[in-house]
Structure 1
Amino acid sequence: MATAKTTNGRAGSRPSSSTLRTVHELFLAGEVDADDLSSSVRPVVAQSWERSRAVGVDPDLNGARPAEALAAAARLRDTHPLAPALPVIRRLLVNDAIDSGVVVAVSAADGTLLWVEGDPNACRRAEAMNFVPGADWSERGAGTNAPGTALALDRELQIHGSEHFSRIVQPWSCTAAPVHDPTTGALLGAIDLTGDAQVASSQTLALVRATAVAVENHLALLRVAGIGPEPATRKPHLVVLGGDRPRWVTSDAYGHLQATYLTGRHADILVLLSRHPEGLSADHLAVLLDDKDLDVVTVRAEMSRLRKVIGAENLGSRPYRLLAPITSDIGEVFDALDAGDVEAALDRYSGPLLRQSVSPAVARLRTALSTTLREAVLAESRRGRADLLRRWLDLPEGRDDRDGWQALRDCSGLNAVVRAQARGHLAGIDYELG
């Protein structure tokens, strides 16, 4: 079978829909992995399937999960940088889509759908898969799909029918292109056309690409005239969860991401400062980092080195504190838990906080985060969300969680295979524990 081409997210010689569906089912069943798909699935799609499965997207989910209440989405639309360009999008895409069976969607950079317009019948059909304003169509939330994967890769993309990760989306095809801030290059969102197989044509790709360029030019002209939105900038982002090295992620003037790897001590300090916006004295920081051997002189030397790593404009003293807002993966998990969104917390939780850290304060925070997430997942499982419990048990922390596996075994509504897997895993834990 000819291998599909991916230079522009477009297919060259594509396999049939029935072949794609067969391969998709084999992939979901674990009988093939991404490396085995090269002869039948475009690499850009195979890699997206792999990412979707790795973060626990449910292929049987009845549409993408809601991101926030519709009222929150309305507030986001009112203030979003793409709002001033909506007339351009309507003139170039929506007006011609009214009776063509096509849906036009505009999403924020995080995958939240902001506007969904077009053919009324197609829009009603799209509602069945929750393709509506306020829904999360990021790749992490909905699996492989054109707007979500275009945002994940920051490139234009087409997804044909059975290339979608979620089964409910496979009757559709879609074409999407990202939109960037014309001054900073920061990612603002994506423009998407969704419809039948004709939507994933080269002509449609050119149209969506041209619309994205027109939107960026429109925003630039508004800004020159002094009536456009302020340039979008990325806050520095701290990555400290999971097995990867901790890093400080920023963007340059063109929106290109730059990651600076951190030493363990610098990562400890940034985590503590992010959780103490009021600031910390050198004495207090020394105790939080090491309650036995660390002296104030060492702390001051570390802070001097850290200032060179992240920039003096980001780090204040007397007390030590972060001078500008930042985001962090640990903060995103805590925020999701505070909002009661356990699924979003799991989406953002890639593993324990700074596993190698010996700081007593970081160890306490690591335990608090892991325990809070675990208890929230168990509480959701008692409300019927066995899918969240399965995702927790797939994490390294969950593999030996006997109470968690027992809770999964006892969940109502499980199919026989999953219940058998839970029983088998419990037997393995008990054998190992003697």
Structure 2
Amino acid sequence: MSSPWSQRREVSPETSRLLIERAHEELLAGNAADERLADVRALVRESWRRSIASLVGAEALPPLELDGDSLAEYRRSHPLVGVIDMVRGLLLPGGADESGVIVAVGDEAGRLLWVEGDRRVRSLTGDMGFVEGANWSEDAVGTSAPGTALALDASLQIHGAEHFNRLVQPWSCTAAPVHDPETRKLLGVIDVTGGAEAASPQAQLLVDATARAIEGELLVARLRARAQPARAPRRTTRTATATRAALSVLGRDRGQLEVAGDGTETVSALAPRHAELLLMLAVHRQGLSAERLAELVYGDPSATVTVRAEMVRLRKVLERTAPALVPESRPYRLGIELETDAHRLLSLLDRGAHRVALAAYRGDVLPDSVAPGVEDFRTTVRTALREALLAEASVDVLLAFSETDAAADDLELLRLCLSMLPARSPKRAGLVARVEKLEADS
């Protein structure tokens, strides 16, 4: 089946891109009364003003509010989970990987729950943070089809330069809100993002029809469920409130532990050795014997007495600050999942969110640690970041990466940046000087 997006239509905004860009710059400069704003659609103009009132940055990356298990759990319970196949069938039939667009489904707060479609477009838009779990509400990133559709509770299109955020201006998009078929409560939003074809009249018809089909399917499913005979309630056992634990290790030696649950949250700094032990247990979630843990932390599998003594100290610390995180024994393992900022970074790379991943990279994993297991994981994270950026990131992201300590002496990276920059780019001179110095020193 061919994609509905395969026949591309050029869409001209109501005014030229240049006029819109000039009006945007005047507004950002504080000239809210500038006559150029009259060249911008009223819908967009008012959205820009709301974006400024919300203190949205003109090149701000969206906050990543759901990730990993928290994203998976939230999606499973969301009212739109049962219609995702319908969305795929209507908006991405057949060759989704080469459709030229991506389709996103978000919740009523603007958080993207599913992002699917053209692989290349997903990689490029991931660079600006258009990924699952990111908040694309108007308050977070300014004018965009999904965020503004939710703000106005209306179907709409945003063309290229009309986006408030400069990072989003290469793209066009169409979005429509989805409501509860009975209460009309806002449930979420459907969005199509791509080139000009993603904001064509055809796109508007398709997205609007999909939103109405979703509401119809929700109503049918609800009526069908009501028609089923009532069942006796099953006995359930009450479980304790889930606890979330996160360990920050990027660019810091002591490590920082955050634990949330039962309406409370604690943040505590860890001793370097305790950070190493917890990190190894987070990396090796299946558990570790005393010998293997001694090898990973001390470089000596026979140092089991030392490991056991340090684990006793770590348990005492956790009993005071995070009881749910106290490790089990034989093997040593954690009773709940411990997220780390390093694993979140790897997850962002997997989703193509290169710019967001680089922003999250605050430095190497526990940079002063000489524990063999930490050194191996540090290399894994640094290598994954470098290879993902070299393979798919834009030149702006690569240039930002070249300014980090991890890539300051990376000749291959600098040469790649030079090959990607326009011949007259003012950034070339500084790069040439860095390359020549590194070549002279080698």
TM-score by length of 1: 0.52
Out of 336, 341, 358, the position equivalent to 2:370 is 358
Out of 322, 336, 339, the position equivalent to 1:324 is 336
Closer, same or farther in 2 for the Cα pair 1:411/1:168, shift >3 Å? closer
Closer, same or farther in 2 for the Cα pair 1:362/1:77, shift >3 Å? closer
Instruction: For residue 107 of structure 2, give the secondary structure of its aligned residue in structure 1.
Output: strand
CA contact (8 A) 1:163 1:170 kept: no
What is the CA–CA distance in structure 2 between the aligned matches of 1:193 and 1:262, rounded to whole Å?
43
Q: CA RMSD in A?
A: 5.7
Instruction: For 1:3-152, list aligned pairs within 5 A.
Output: 21-22=25-26, 24=28, 42=52, 44-45=54-55, 48-49=57-58, 51-52=60-61, 79-83=75-79, 106-107=106-107, 111-112=111-112, 140-141=129-130, 146-147=137-138, 149=140
CA contact (8 A) 1:282 1:319 kept: yes
CA contact (8 A) 1:288 1:359 kept: yes
Instruction: For residue 358 of structure 1, give the secondary structure of its aligned residue in structure 2.
Output: coil
Following superposition, the deviation at residue 83 of structure 1 comes to: 0.8
Instruction: For residue 367 of structure 1, give the secondary structure of its aligned residue in structure 2.
Output: helix
Instruction: For 1:34-433, list aligned pairs within 5 A.
Output: 42=52, 44-45=54-55, 48-49=57-58, 51-52=60-61, 79-83=75-79, 106-107=106-107, 111-112=111-112, 140-141=129-130, 146-147=137-138, 149=140, 163-166=164-167, 168=169, 235-243=244-252, 246-254=255-263, 258-291=266-299, 295-308=306-319, 309-312=321-324, 314-335=326-347, 339=350, 341=352, 343=354, 345-346=357-358, 348-380=360-392, 385-411=394-420, 416-429=425-438, 433=441
Does 1 or 2 have the higher relative contact order (CA < 8 Å, sep 6+)?
2
One-letter amino acid matched to 1:45: L
- CA deviation vs aligned residue, 1:387-412 (integer Å, no higher than 9, x gap): 44234213321222222112211237
- CA deviation vs aligned residue, 1:108-135 (integer Å, no higher than 9, x gap): 88932559xxxxxxxxxxx9xx9x9x99
Following superposition, the deviation at residue 42 of structure 1 comes to: 4.8
Rg larger for: 2
Task: Report the identity percentage.
Answer: 20
Closer, same or farther in 2 for the Cα pair 1:43/1:245, shift >3 Å? farther
Report the more deviating stretch, 414-423 or 353-362: 414-423
One-letter amino acid matched to 2:112: T
What is the CA–CA distance in structure 1 between the aligned matches of 2:392 and 2:275, rounded to whole Å?
32
What is the CA–CA distance in structure 2 between the aligned matches of 1:275 and 1:419, rounded to whole Å?
40
CA contact (8 A) 2:124 2:352 kept: no
CA contact (8 A) 1:266 1:306 kept: no
The gaps in structure 2 that reach 5 residues or longer are 1-19, 31-50, 84-103, 143-147, 153-157, 178-185, 192-231
One-letter amino acid matched to 2:269: Y
Following superposition, the deviation at residue 353 of structure 1 comes to: 0.7
Closer, same or farther in 2 for the Cα pair 1:387/1:19, shift >3 Å? closer
User: Which residue does 1:95 correspond to in 2?
Assistant: none
User: Which residue does 2:93 correspond to in 1?
Assistant: none
Count of aligned positions: 310
The gaps in structure 1 that reach 5 residues or longer are 1-15, 27-40, 56-66, 68-74, 88-103, 116-126, 177-188, 195-224
One-letter amino acid matched to 1:365: F
What is the CA–CA distance in structure 2 between the aligned matches of 1:139 and 1:404, rounded to whole Å?
21
Closer, same or farther in 2 for the Cα pair 1:426/1:53, shift >3 Å? farther
- CA deviation vs aligned residue, 1:374-398 (integer Å, no higher than 9, x gap): 13322336xxx43442342133212
CA contact (8 A) 1:113 1:136 kept: no
What is the CA–CA distance in structure 1 between the aligned matches of 2:332 and 2:404, rounded to whole Å?
35
Instruction: For residue 251 of structure 1, give the secondary structure of its aligned residue in structure 2.
Output: strand
